[in-house]
Every structure is written in C-alpha cells, then in structure tokens.
Amino acid sequence: MANPKVAVVVPSDRGGDSYREMEAAGCNVELADESWSTGFNATEEAYLSLCADADAVIGGRLEGLLITRDRLSQLKNLRIYCRYNIGYDDIDLEAATDLGIIVTNSPVESNWGSVAENAFALMLCLLKRIPERDRHVREGGWRQDEPSAQYIGRRLDGYEGLTVGLIGLGRVGSRMADLLQPWRVKLLACDPYVDQSKFVHHNTIPVDMKTLLQESDVVSLHCDLNGETRQMINQKQFGLMKPTAIFLNTARGGLVDYDALFNALDKDVIAGAGLDVFEIEPLPKQSPILDLGNKVVLTPHSAGRTPGGINRNAVVLQTEILLTALRGVVPKCVVNTEVLPKWRERFGDKCLI
C-alpha cells in the first residue's frame, strides 16, 4: 500500500517540525512552492497538480484561489481539508459535504484572542485619535492645536460614557466584551444564535440589530461569513448609526458593502472606521477607502497574526487532526459536521498510516 499523500498548500511551518511528524507517521508530504508560504501566488494549475491525488490537504487560505466545487471534485482521494485559519469562507462547504470531505479549522486562542485585541486597538486609535496625534507631533505641532480625543468610560461627574455594540458574541465578540469590562462602558450585543446566559456571563445587554445600531457609539462586527451574513452591513445599517459613531470590522470583508461604507464615511453619515478586512484583498491602491484620511485606521488582514498565533499553535493542532483522519477516525474541529455519516461510510476505520 502506497503511503498517503499530504499536500501542504501554504508551507508556513518554517521549522518543518510538522512535516517531519507527518513523514514519521508514514505520510508522503509534498510542499507547495515556497512563494506560497504567505498565502499568495497560487495558481489553479499548480494547485491541482499538487493536490489532485492527495489524501489530505493542509495549510492556510490561498488568496485569490477559491476552493470551489469544481476544484474539490478533482481531488478524488481527498478525505480531509485542514485549515490553519479560523475562517473557511473561501471553501465551498456544501460541495465538500456532498463529496464526503471533512473540512477543519483552527480556533486557537492565540488567533481569535489576537483578533479581539486588534479590534480593541483600532477602537482606541480612532477614539483617542492616536495616528492623527502622532502625525501632528511629527509635523511640529503640540498641545495648543492638537486634535481633541473622546473620553470613553463612565465618570463620577455624571458623564455616562460610551455605548459599544457587538454584533456577534462568539469567541472574538466575547473576548472583546471581556476586554471592555474595566472601561466602564455600556455594552450591547446582538447574536440570535447564542444562549441568553452568554450575554449575562459577558455583562452585555441583549438587543436587536436596529437598537444596537441606533444606540451604539462604537459598532464592532464579529460574525462568520456565509450566505445569510454576506453584506449584512450596508447602506441601510449605516443610515441607522449615529453620525458620531465608529465602525469596526476585523471579521470578514464580505460582511460589509464597502461602497456603502465609503459613502457613509465620505458623507459624514458615520464618523470613522477601523478595518482589518476588505472585500478585495490586498486592498487595491486605487481603493477610495485610502482617500478618507483620518476617518479610517487600516490593518492588512493581520489581526490574528502574532508570534505563535496563526502559525505554530494552528500547525500543531491541524497536524494532529490530519493524522487522526488518516487513521480513519473523525477528528476534532470539523466545521461541516453534516458530512460525518458519508465520511464514515467512505473512510471510517480505513487506516492509511
């Protein structure tokens, strides 16, 4: 029996420990070109050449290359697609399920916790006008003509503080709520999919979306991208927000109509935005978002990238998951759980290593 083939589509394990572990277990490990290590530069031809006869695929997101039904259907031996990322919106999950392929992701705290911290940092940058004040000092300015900043929390003099609205109370949204606890703000949250006890646990007030948008000074988006949530924030939602409000998106670019966001900022419908994700990535040099000056603070879809974050911990997790699946056992972190009956029929108890 030939050794099972593992295709590594984003070879970002620079130390190579995971590759050696898979090889020691009996796998034939084939790496994509080194130029793919950041998730860019992949081509369909090279991708299919690497993965066509693979029993397992492991790696991160390939920018500009969607994992479609057509591409998955050409991977005849594939039993598992392991992702170093939390997000998997670039994979056709329905197709993977129909084809009997397990898809797994990496909900490691060093990743999702970092995303929450990045959202928090973007909020502070905008409310405290940190980038603007930094430029002001570098250009020779000082306190007499500095941009004024927003006080955030409730004070003893009767100032009620700001209201922060969290759309989504999953891992990232919950951590964002926890980070905000000492700041004495009013916390609203909207998430129809979590138990009411979660709102209580994270000291948030459950409200509907309209109320959250109308009452919040800061609106922070923390949702998965799927057919239901695509462009869930558009012109209508921005129109409900306060003209002084700031909007944060560290989740997925596809959740937001970015043309509507640009218009809302350009026409002062809202005051500012902190963005780590965009509809098109990398953000095109001609994007009008770049012309909004101090109204926006931008980061390059890097909120979850920390030393040991998206890389080391996720690599260790997914290597374990991959080897489990190659032994014919259902692994953890399966995102398309509907596939399991078909997967067990195809691969259950069929050990390759």
Q: Residues with catalytic annotation?
A: 252, 281, 301
CA count, 13 A, side-chain hemisphere, 297: 24
Is the confidence at residue 200, as pLDDT, over 70? yes
Q: How far apart are CA 162 and CA 186, in angstroms?
A: 6
Query: How confident is the model at residue 143, as a pLDDT?
Result: 87
Confidence of residue 310 (pLDDT cuts 50, 70, 90): low
- Per-residue pLDDT reduced to its tens digit, 20-68: 999 999 999 999 998 998 888 899 999 999 999 999 999 999 988 999 9
Query: How confident is the model at residue 353, as a pLDDT?
Result: 94
Query: How confident is the model at residue 2, as a pLDDT?
Result: 73
Angle, alpha carbons 285-291-295 (nearest 5°)? 130
- Per-residue pLDDT reduced to its tens digit, 234-255: 999 999 999 999 999 999 999 9
- Per-residue pLDDT reduced to its tens digit, 92-117: 999 999 999 999 999 999 899 999 99
CA-based nearest residue to 202, from 178, 171, 166: 178
CATH class for the region spanning 109-298: alpha beta
- Residue indicated by tokens 């006008």: 129
Q: How far apart are CA 61 and CA 67, in angstroms?
A: 9
DSSP secondary structure letter of residue 4: P
Paired strand residues for 326: none
Q: What backbone torsions phi and psi does residue 205 show, to the nearest 5 degrees?
A: -100, 120
Confidence of residue 269 (pLDDT cuts 50, 70, 90): very high
Confidence of residue 305 (pLDDT cuts 50, 70, 90): confident
- What are the residue ranges spanned by the domains of the chain? 5-105+307-347, 109-298
Is the confidence at residue 282, as pLDDT, over 50? yes
Confidence of residue 1 (pLDDT cuts 50, 70, 90): low
Query: How confident is the model at residue 12, as a pLDDT?
Result: 85
Paired strand residues for 163: 186
Q: How far apart are CA 14 and CA 312, in angstroms?
A: 10
Is the confidence at residue 161, as pLDDT, over 70? yes
Paired strand residues for 155: none
Q: Token pair of 98, please?
A: 């129909």
**Rg (the chain; Cα; Å):** 22
Confidence of residue 308 (pLDDT cuts 50, 70, 90): low
| Residues of the chain above pLDDT 90, percent | 88
- Of the listed ranges 12-16, 90-94, 278-282, the least confidently predicted one is 12-16
Query: How confident is the model at residue 309, as a pLDDT?
Result: 47
- 311-317: list long-range contacts, CB under 8 Å, 24+ apart: 311/12, 311/13, 311/84, 313/106, 313/108, 313/110, 313/111, 314/84, 314/85, 314/106, 314/108, 314/111, 315/12, 315/13, 315/17, 315/18, 315/84, 316/18, 317/106, 317/108
| Secondary element (H or E) of residue 19 | helix 17-24
Q: Average pLDDT for residues 136-150, to the nearest whole number?
A: 88
Q: What backbone torsions phi and psi does residue 279 show, to the nearest 5 degrees?
A: -65, -40
The DSSP bridge pattern shows strands 56-59 and 80-83 to be parallel
| Contact by Cβ (8 Å): 173, 189 | yes
Is 5-105+307-347's fold the same as 109-298's? Answer: yes
| Residues of the chain above pLDDT 70, percent | 99
Q: What is the mean pLDDT of the chain?
A: 95
DSSP secondary structure letter of residue 331: -
Is the confidence at residue 168, as pLDDT, over 50? yes
Query: How confident is the model at residue 15, as a pLDDT?
Result: 87
In CATH terms, the superfamily for domain 5-105+307-347 is NAD(P)-binding Rossmann-like Domain (3.40.50.720)
Q: Average pLDDT for residues 163-171, to the nearest whole number?
A: 98
Q: How far apart are CA 338 and CA 119, in angstroms?
A: 32
CA-based nearest residue to 220, from 162, 279, 263: 162
Is the confidence at residue 315, as pLDDT, over 70? yes
